[in-house]
Amino acid sequence: MPLPHKSDVKRKSFDLSGFKALIVTTSQKTLDKIDSGTGAVIKKGKATGVYASEMTEPYYVFMEANMMVDIASIHGGEVPIDPLSLKPIIRTKDDVRFLNDPVLKEKVKNSILLEDINIGAYDIVFLSGGWGAAYDFAQSTVLAEKISTAYASKKILSAVCHGPLGLVSAKKEDGSPLVEGVQITGVTNRQLRQLSVQGTPKHPETELRKTKAIYQSNSGLVDMFRTLVVVDKEHLIVTGQNQKAGVETAQEALQLLYDRINDKC
């Protein structure tokens, strides 16, 4: 079943020349079955990775605002892209743009190793989703450290779908979970059940509720046809519920940055 998007969201015009955005993706290539006790791979699964539009849409939103944009991944090198997300019936306009863009294709082929990133150099950090992120976002101590540092430095944090898993292991300066008390969203457990993707190690809704985030969602008969973008201005965090929210989440991150620059928040 095609996964609908929200690419028709009207894009506001920003000029944020001189500012920088970082998009972080998974490095997980397959939907493996994992032993819950040892963490060992029991069985290799089908191909997965980042969901294409959850990387391409924020990239072009930030580029259109005249920002410098880098792509990093947990292990660096070529970013795995879920093949389902690039099927002609599903791909978005930004996915098509990516497929014809040698600059972005090079960035995706040779993504920066997350460990090598100076997170303080970026004004917006965007965590892209896709089922691959269930395997390495919440589990990465490097990502947790980078996000904790970015939060303490009052950077704009944004994430979509499975991307918020990259926030759950991060900490506030007092040692409490970064997302505790934060208004937030991420893909629902209901959507994962409806798509029969329940065997992944981490589920965003479950993990966010565990860490006492103020989880919100827009649920319905079929959750992949719904979406929600949540802006927590106090914590400078913007999250999108699922694959439909890439453009709007990135736009709201730009708005937060613009407002901060102009002392509106």
Task: Average the pLDDT over each of 30-34, 70-74, 76-80, 83-87 and give the range with the smallest value.
Answer: 30-34
196 burial type by CB count under 10 A (0-12 exposed, 13-18 middle, 19+ buried):
exposed
Residue 265 has pLDDT above 60, yes or no: no
For helices 246-261 and 53-64, the axis angle rounded to 10 degrees is 30
Secondary-structure breakdown of the chain: helix, strand, coil percentages, each rounded to the nearest 5 = 35, 20, 50
The single-letter DSSP state of residue 69 is: E
Residue 36 pLDDT: 78
| Cβ–Cβ < 8 Å for 258, 16 | yes
In 131-192, the DSSP E strands lie at 156-160, 183-184
Domains of the chain, each with CATH number or no CATH: 20-261 (3.40.50.880)
Q: What is the pLDDT of residues 5-15, one digit of tens each?
A: 444 567 889 99
Q: Which pLDDT band holds residue 90 (cuts at 50, 70, 90)? A: very high
Cα(181)–Cα(184) distance, integer angstroms: 9
| Cβ–Cβ < 8 Å for 163, 137 | yes
Could you tell me which residues are beta bridge partners of residue 69? 21
| Cβ–Cβ < 8 Å for 80, 132 | yes
Q: What is the pLDDT of residues 108-165, one digit of tens each?
A: 999 999 999 999 999 999 999 999 999 999 999 999 999 999 999 999 999 999 999 9
- Averaged pLDDT score across all residues of the chain: 94
**Of residues 32 and 107, which shows the higher confidence score?**
107
Q: What is the pLDDT of residues 234-261, one digit of tens each?
A: 999 999 999 999 999 999 999 999 999 9
| Cβ–Cβ < 8 Å for 78, 109 | yes
Question: Model-level pTM?
Answer: 0.94
Alpha-carbon Rg for the chain, nearest whole angstrom, is 17
CA atoms in the 13 A half-sphere facing the CB of 72: 21
Residue 35 has pLDDT above 90, yes or no: no
Q: What is the pLDDT of residues 48-63, one digit of tens each?
A: 999 999 999 999 999 9
In the chain, the DSSP E strands lie at 20-25, 33-34, 41-43, 68-73, 112-113, 124-127, 156-160, 183-184, 214-215, 229-232, 237-240
